[in-house]
Structure 1
Amino acid sequence: MTRRTPARPADVETLFPELIPFRRASVRLHPRAGSPSCHDSSVGGPLLWPAAEPWPVCREEHYDPDAVSELQGDVPMVPIVQVRQADAPGVPFPEGTDLLQVLWCPYAHGEYCYPLPRVHWRNTGGIGDILPTPAPVEGLPKDWYPDPCVVHPEQVTEYPSRDLSWDMRDALRARFDELQASTGLDYGYHLAEAPGIKLGGYPGWTQEPCWPDREACGGRTEHLLTVASWEFDGESWRTWLPVEDRTDSGWAETADNPAGLCLGDAGSVYVFECRACPDRPVGHWFDCS
């Protein structure tokens, strides 16, 4: 089944033509519980991993997010997202690749207690024999890695909210308020960034934006992936809930959190990359309410 976001109930570019230069495309993955194979695009599913390449482990200092205790030893990383290029329209894959894989260590790291992601770009034609994806080791914090889900990719158009400059926010504030008063639509919640797990577009920041710096090359990082706790929340569902998941009472029971994630206080992990560097180094940030 496909997943289609309803047409915007307000024409953003007519109401706010100043936002046209900031328009970006994203690919909402719309994960839903299922049994993907290693050949499929998926969230939390098995990866098309070469048998000649060891499964990655995390050797960083890490903590159990549900406790204060420090943990020792190597931790196998868990699959987060696998996306074939054919399922990611508009996403710029590196030349010679057609598969994106993202894994992370599901324990807390650093001052802000974030998962530690790793990004792999692959050419499926060169993988050869496949290494079976290991089952998650016992004792991992369950809501820090996704349940296996099939995906229903959909390209949508986004506009920034928190990534707008303060001058632009001030210039548009009166029209944002007028829209909300007349329609009940909050620009940030209902019209700006798509919620949920997605590629490209803008991060749906809970706090103020924190884009990783690239001092080494002077390039600007680009948003690659958002891994969000929920597909939508109690406000954003009005405009972002897919048509196929709508019911007379609101939404289908499992549509809001099909992957079973809860990152901190319903937060998100954002993965960024520098496309100015040949090896496309990545950065990440985690925020929650």
Structure 2
Amino acid sequence: MKDPAAGRRTPARPFDVVGFVPGLADWAREAVRLHPRPGTPSRDGSSVGGPLLWPADEAWPVCARMHQGFGTGLPDALPVPMVPVVQAFRSDLPPGVVPFPEGKDLLQVLWCPFDHEFPVSPWPVVVWRDSTAVREVLPQPAPDTGASRRLMPAPCVVHPERVTDYPTRDLPEDLAEAWQDDFRRLAQAHPLVSFSDVAEAPGIKLGGYPSWFTWEGPVECETCGLPVEHLLTVASWECDGGSWRLWLPLEDRDEDGGRAVPVDPTGLEIGGVGSVYVFECRTCPDRPTMHLFDSS
């Protein structure tokens, strides 16, 4: 394996997606794979599951919603302190992929480490802030003793990488039908690798498209009814056991090209190997967020 402190590079796709399906060029979206790896992140840097740059004069987020007891028991008490999931400084990310609100340079996502009534998943909150305004930092509260490690990501440093996503389930049905001859040519030329295998980057990422297992149809804002934008995917695995050769970074391979790191560096187990998808409405002035859970 290469230097663990180096960046991460996703291998090139085994074929030119747009070369086979030219119409997809207009549907390409940039994403940032965070590539979390176990480490000792600081509150002054981007991380998954690491300490947050949280101001001392601002209350730590808590959850008082109805919880499910699947495999974890119920919370010892309410409200439940939320746990850090992602911290991303704009300066650590490839430019232009994540549209930070004006005057903000830090994205923080926390969630409640228990399953909920609906969706049956952790419940995230999204905070945008100006990191330069944080003078004193609030100590992080201890997680609820009933919470399972499977919903609390292990502290990880990140290696942000820009990639290009293409839609599968988010592609309108009429276009998928109109381009079926192009998709058929692709399948005939590469019978061992399907378009769905290479369309959307897996793992924990910002932007791009959700790598849906089952969802069909657009996701709409609960306030204005307009389509929302995918902000973040928090996935159980960096890449699954079947497609790891397509998505595992070059730096995480041994000298023979085999897998030199686990595909689940965060230790998350969200409904098995599911994902939580966080969306935001960029039409509403306050950019409200919502989330969905999906699993195979």
Q: TM-score range by the shorter chain?
A: over 0.9
Alignment check: 8 A CA contact 1:62 1:71 kept: no
| Letter aligned with residue 257 of structure 1 | D
Q: CA deviation at 1:210?
A: 5.5
Instruction: Tell me the equivalent position of 2:110.
Output: 103
| Separation in 2, partners of 1:244, 1:180 | 29
Alignment check: 8 A CA contact 2:31 2:206 kept: yes
Alignment check: 8 A CA contact 2:20 2:185 kept: no
| Letter aligned with residue 167 of structure 2 | P
Q: 1:251 aligns with which of 256, 259, 268?
A: 259
Could you give the per-residue CA deviations for residues 111-164 of structure 1, whole angstroms, max 9, x where no partner exists? 441211000000011111001223323221111120000000001111001111
| Letter aligned with residue 9 of structure 1 | P
| Letter aligned with residue 153 of structure 1 | P
2:206 equivalent to 1:199: yes
Instruction: Tell me the equivalent position of 2:3.
Output: none
Compared CA separation, residues 137 and 215, structure 1 to 2 (3 A): closer
| Separation in 2, partners of 1:165, 1:178 | 20
Which stretches in structure 2 are left out of the alignment for 5+ residues? 1-5
| Letter aligned with residue 83 of structure 2 | V
| Separation in 1, partners of 2:72, 2:107 | 32
| Separation in 1, partners of 2:196, 2:122 | 26
Secondary structure class of the residue paired with 1:62: coil
2:280 equivalent to 1:273: yes
Q: 2:100 aligns with which of 93, 118, 121?
A: 93
Moved more, 165-174 or 29-38: 165-174
Secondary structure class of the residue paired with 1:49: coil
| Letter aligned with residue 39 of structure 1 | D
Compared CA separation, residues 135 and 181, structure 1 to 2 (3 A): farther
RMSD of aligned C-alpha atoms? 1.8
Secondary structure class of the residue paired with 2:292: strand
| Separation in 2, partners of 1:159, 1:31 | 22
Secondary structure class of the residue paired with 1:19: helix
Could you give the per-residue CA deviations for residues 50-89 of structure 1, whole angstroms, max 9, x where no partner exists? 0001111101111223157687521100000000001233
| Separation in 2, partners of 1:214, 1:48 | 29
TM-score when scaled to structure 2? 0.91
Instruction: Tell me the equivalent position of 1:49.
Output: 54
2:151 equivalent to 1:144: yes
Greater share of strand residues, 1 or 2? 1
Q: CA deviation at 1:208?
A: 2.1
Which stretches in structure 1 are left out of the alignment for 5+ residues? none
Alignment check: 8 A CA contact 1:270 1:286 kept: yes
Compared CA separation, residues 210 and 130, structure 1 to 2 (3 A): farther
Alignment check: 8 A CA contact 2:278 2:289 kept: yes
| Separation in 2, partners of 1:60, 1:17 | 46
The alignment of Structure 1 onto Structure 2 pairs a total of residues equal to 287
Moved more, 21-30 or 9-18: 9-18
Alignment check: 8 A CA contact 2:47 2:158 kept: yes
| Letter aligned with residue 103 of structure 2 | G
| Separation in 1, partners of 2:73, 2:62 | 22
| Separation in 1, partners of 2:146, 2:284 | 38
2:36 equivalent to 1:31: yes
Alignment check: 8 A CA contact 1:196 1:226 kept: yes
Compared CA separation, residues 185 and 29, structure 1 to 2 (3 A): same
Instruction: Tell me the equivalent position of 2:166.
Output: 159
Alignment check: 8 A CA contact 2:105 2:129 kept: yes
Alignment check: 8 A CA contact 1:195 1:231 kept: yes
Instruction: Tell me the equivalent position of 1:9.
Output: 14
